[in-house]
Structure 1
Amino acid sequence: MKTFKMLSFDLIKEDGKLNFPLIDGIVINQENSHKSWVLELFISKEHIKTFHQLHNSGEVFDVHVVISFPDNEPAPFSVVVNEIREIRGNYSVLLKGAVKQLRKKYAEQLLKLLLEENLPKEELITRFEQGMRERPKLKEI
């Protein structure tokens, strides 16, 4: 197993991303035949309602997680809420799932769309870096 520090957590919804501020978080690659991952978020009480709803529904949902270093690209996961525990007024949310396969050639497709906008060099670089970090659906750009 390998463990990583979770720096940010975004729930992906049809209408965009919903960021959940973390008190702490960890990501564990179980390195098993199922290629499963465990994500544990430690969040404040004000953000727990969404996770209770997801837990009760058993819904599989997509998230983006920045691991280890702030400049890393968000890693996409499909997960389910496995367990929620209250700890001294805050909450531990245990998610289980798998890494989603990113579309091939995302960088090339993003760059092609941005080049079509005839942006100045500095803006092109800035928008490309932002797009690679945030990974929006390409039709949203």
Structure 2
Amino acid sequence: MKTFKLVSMQVWDEDELVDITLEDGLIINKEDEKSRWLLEAFIDKKFLSFFSKLEKKGQEVPLQVVISKKDNDPAHFMTKISSINEFVDQMSVLFEGKIRSKRNEFAEVLLGDLVSKGLSGDKLLNEFKGQMKRAHRLASAKK
């Protein structure tokens, strides 16, 4: 197993990224036969209802996280919430999941969405570049 610092985290909720302000965080590559990862986020209790709803749905929770250093590109995970533990002012959310095919998958989805909206040529290129930069900035802004 390898352990890393979780620097920032965002959760995909419907069609938007929700910034989760971390008090602290840890990510573990289990290096097992199923290529699973554990992510533990220590956060303010104000997020309790948000994560409780996600847990009750029982669905996969897509995460975008930055590992180790704020300048690293975000990594994308498909996870499930394993547990939520409450403390006095904070809470811990434990996720288990797999890393997704990083930025290329996001770029493909974004490009398909922009083309389906009728963009082409310079307008397509400019919008694509702008959204890729915003997605990266969002991931590293709250460190």
Identity of aligned residues (%): 33
TM-score scaled by structure 2?
0.74
TM-score scaled by structure 1?
0.75
SS at match of 1:130: helix
For structure 1, the residue ranges without an aligned partner over 5 or more in a row are 136-141
SS at match of 2:72: coil
CA offset digits 1:53-74 (Å, max 9, x no partner): 1112211121100111111111
| Whole-Å separation in 1 of the counterparts to 2:57 and 2:99 | 21
| Whole-Å separation in 2 of the counterparts to 1:129 and 1:53 | 29
The residue that corresponds to 1:16 in the other structure is 16
- How many residues of Structure 1 are paired with residues of Structure 2 in the alignment? 128
Q: Among residues 119, 129, 136, which one is paired with 1:133 in the alignment?
A: 136
| Whole-Å separation in 2 of the counterparts to 1:18 and 1:95 | 16
Moved beyond 4 Å, runs of 4+ = 126-129
The structure showing larger relative contact order (alpha-carbon pairs under 8 Å, at least 6 residues apart) is 2
SS at match of 1:35: coil
The letter for the 2-side match of 1:40 is E
| Whole-Å separation in 2 of the counterparts to 1:42 and 1:13 | 19
Please identify, of 48-57 and 68-77, the stretch whose mean Cα deviation from structure 2 is larger: 48-57
| Whole-Å separation in 1 of the counterparts to 2:89 and 2:76 | 29
The residue that corresponds to 2:47 in the other structure is 47
| Whole-Å separation in 2 of the counterparts to 1:134 and 1:128 | 10
RMSD, matched Cα = 3.1
SS at match of 2:78: strand
- In terms of fraction of residues, the more helix-rich structure is 2
C-alpha contact 1:26 1:40 (8 A) present in aligned 2: yes
SS at match of 2:91: strand
Map 1:54-133 onto structure 2 (within 5 A).
54-102=54-102, 103=104, 106=107, 116-117=122-123, 127=130, 130=133, 133=136
The letter for the 1-side match of 2:133 is Q
